[in-house]
Amino acid sequence: MDKTIEETSPALDGGLDKLLTERFAGRVVRKDLTKLIKEGANVPVYVLEYLLGMYCASSDDDTIRSGMETVKQILTENFVRPDEAEKVKSKIRESGSFKVIDKVTVKLNEARDIYEALLSNLGIKNAEISDGYVRQFEKLLVGGIWCIITIQYRFEENKKGSPFVISDLKPIQMPNMDMAALFEARKGFTEEQWIDALLRSTGMEPTCFKERAKWHLLARMIPLVENNYNLCELGPRGTGKSHIYKEISPNSILVSGGQTTVANLFYNMSTRKVGLVGLWDTVAFDEVAGINFKDHDGIQIMKDFMASGSFSRGRESINASAAMVFVGNLPQGQSVESLVKTSHLFAPFPDEMIDSAFFDRFHAYIPGWEIPKMRPEFFTNQYGLIVDYLAEWLREMRKRSFADAIDKWFKLGNNLNQRDTIAVRRTVSGLLKLIYPDGDYTKDAVRKCLEYALETRRRVKEQLKKIGGMEFYDVHFSYIDLEDQQERFINVPEQGGGGLIPEGRLNPGTLHTITIGANGMPGLYRMEIQTIPGSGKLSVSVSGSLSREPVRVAFDYFKANAARVSASIHPTEKDFHLHLVELQNSGSPEMLTLSSLIVLCSAALAKPIQSQMVVMGDMSLGGTITQARNLAESLQVAFDAGAKRILLPMSSVTDLPTVPGELFAKFQTSFYSDPVDAVFKALGVE
């Protein structure tokens, strides 16, 4: 028994390494080898691993050692460091031909009617290149590709242009992809093992991350497998948000924050060429706060593209399948909790982009604040798939769809509109493509993906509700299990809405009210009163500049009309201390008189308000009732805060048609006709 434990317990890592090397022979690499060489050579990961996969795909130490030497030699001899560019140029001239590893970008020289290549590190700007390579590899024209190239030196007098000519070019990418072999190999892994293998393939060490963080890291990969997928991730600095789009896939491009143009991104009218969205699988924008369109119609074109995968320029209507990713940092020194309360989680975007129609096109929002900041131990030393093999497999998966996987076992709740449904289906499809590429998934697997998809879309919807108001009230996402017909609701952790109004009856003299705050939006306030033997004095403690006047008006009415409520109330025998708490940073409340009267009566009678009740509406000193303002939005705030009962003035009946029926049905509603009636209804006295 002991022996078995010894053999199996350390074998999680070793076991996964063994599985990978057996199932993906020649397609895996030890990621620490990549790190070792990466530190000394400024080349992308997929370039290194292409070479390491050729020479170090073995578990034999001697083979690895000699392979490492070979790779180092190739990089030493062929990889061009920018500071040694002149030395390499001289070598090309002296020997007539030389092989180098460099990033190649091609442009058309109209004057000479030839294609010319720019070699980034070598610093050659106009090396002649054959038309055939350009036709074969279109990406040479936009963004460029890392290649192994043979450069020849052909000097001719009176010849215009550069003497450097590219005679041979080989992109550092997998030449072909056997999907059937991959599907077969996947069958040897459990779900957990496969997720760990995927994360190791991207360079991460899964044992350092909690289950939830693993899913976030996995979600970063969805744009690489799903066409026209729009993803947003904002979080603290240093959590590796852009790493996967820059280093892991040769099919994605990272656009650093700053000025961009419609011509570069979508379509160049003068050259009649499609921009980045037509040439790359994923276009990621780094540092969203700095995005700035030179063209005034840039954001509108982006909105069109994100909604439909097509856009119009001039008379042209162009389709493209690129996924759009937006990553950026949350404001420093501000917690997510305070951002949720005082603003919204899209706040870092530039002002011209803060538009509910734009954000509504996001399929998911990854909570970057739940991923820990990267430390050296978070990067793996174990085996993983060569990133180039990974990238080609991910690209191949874009041709498939698992969007209908939900329908076999589940149905989406009625709060999801068409856009929500599309978003959830795409996220589920993307996650299943990553975890179960062979399509052999179970009900539980689909449930996990579905719950994650609902959460990441609801996070988008919660922010839209804050930006666009009642148009986006329906945020209570759920799904129905077709087997037991049970409806399960999905929450967003950072909202924490349900806890603002606790369950069960509160102490006498405690009440929740919703009224318009200084910011013009409905806010939730809690009133608490303590009574002590005294002579009928009132003291009020409030935060900031909140007005005490409504409370004093309520106290005067209370003293004059206490006998109408109950003969047992003697206002002159007690002192009252009222404390007002604003729960949602809404600023000074507009209406408080009626709520103050009810809470005074509750304290004087030592009788609690009905559980999870919210009071709305107001009154004058003479007892005239004022109806509640912004009823629909106020009810939405009440529901989000956890209210189950609502107390409304009779005059608010005229506003009920503005409230969605589904929202109104969530509450047990009572109506009052005068202040004393409101007191009785609040205390549950018939």
HEC string of 506-537 equals CCCCEEEEEEECCCCCEEEEEEEEEEEECCCC
Q: What does the pLDDT read at residue 392?
A: 83
Extended beta strands in 345-394, E state: 364-367, 383-385
Whether pLDDT at 53 is above 80:
no
Percent residues over pLDDT 70 in the chain? 91
C-alpha separations of 359 from 259, 466, 467, 468 in Å: 20, 12, 10, 10
Helical (H) or strand (E) element with 174? none
Give the whole-angstrom CA distance, residue 214 versus residue 191: 12
For residue 323, the cross-strand partners are 282
Give me the amino acid identity at 78.
N
For residue 532, the cross-strand partners are 575
Q: What's the gap between Cα 584 and its chain centre? A: 24
Query: Cβ–Cβ contacts within 10 Å for residue 299, how many?
Result: 18
Q: What does the pLDDT read at residue 470?
A: 64
> Which stretch of 210-219, 399-408, 559-568, 577-586 has the lowest confidence by average pLDDT?
577-586
Question: Looking up tokens 């996995």, which residue turns up?
Answer: 218
Residues 656/664, Cβ–Cβ less than 8 Å: yes
Q: Tell me: the pLDDT tens digits for 628-641?
A: 888 888 888 888 77
Give the whole-angstrom CA distance, residue 205 versus residue 379: 5
Residues whose CB falls within 8 Å of the CB of residue 361, separated by 6 or more in sequence, listed in order:
230, 303, 306, 307, 419
Residues 262/297, Cβ–Cβ less than 8 Å: yes
Q: pTM of the prediction?
A: 0.70
pLDDT band at 2 (very low <50, low <70, confident <90, very high): very low
Q: Tell me: the pLDDT tens digits for 347-398?
A: 888 877 888 888 889 999 999 899 998 888 888 888 888 887 888 889 889 8
Structure tokens given for 603 = 């304290």
Whether pLDDT at 326 is above 70:
yes
Question: Looking up tokens 């809404």, which residue turns up?
Answer: 586
Whether pLDDT at 226 is above 60:
yes
Whether pLDDT at 293 is above 90:
no
Q: Tell me: the pLDDT tens digits for 565-607?
A: 888 888 888 889 988 887 766 778 878 899 999 999 999 998 9
Q: Tell me: the pLDDT tens digits for 649-666?
A: 999 999 999 888 878 888
What is the average pLDDT score of the chain?
A: 84
Longest CA–CA span in the chain (Å) reads 114
Give me the amino acid identity at 56.
C
Whether pLDDT at 642 is above 60:
yes
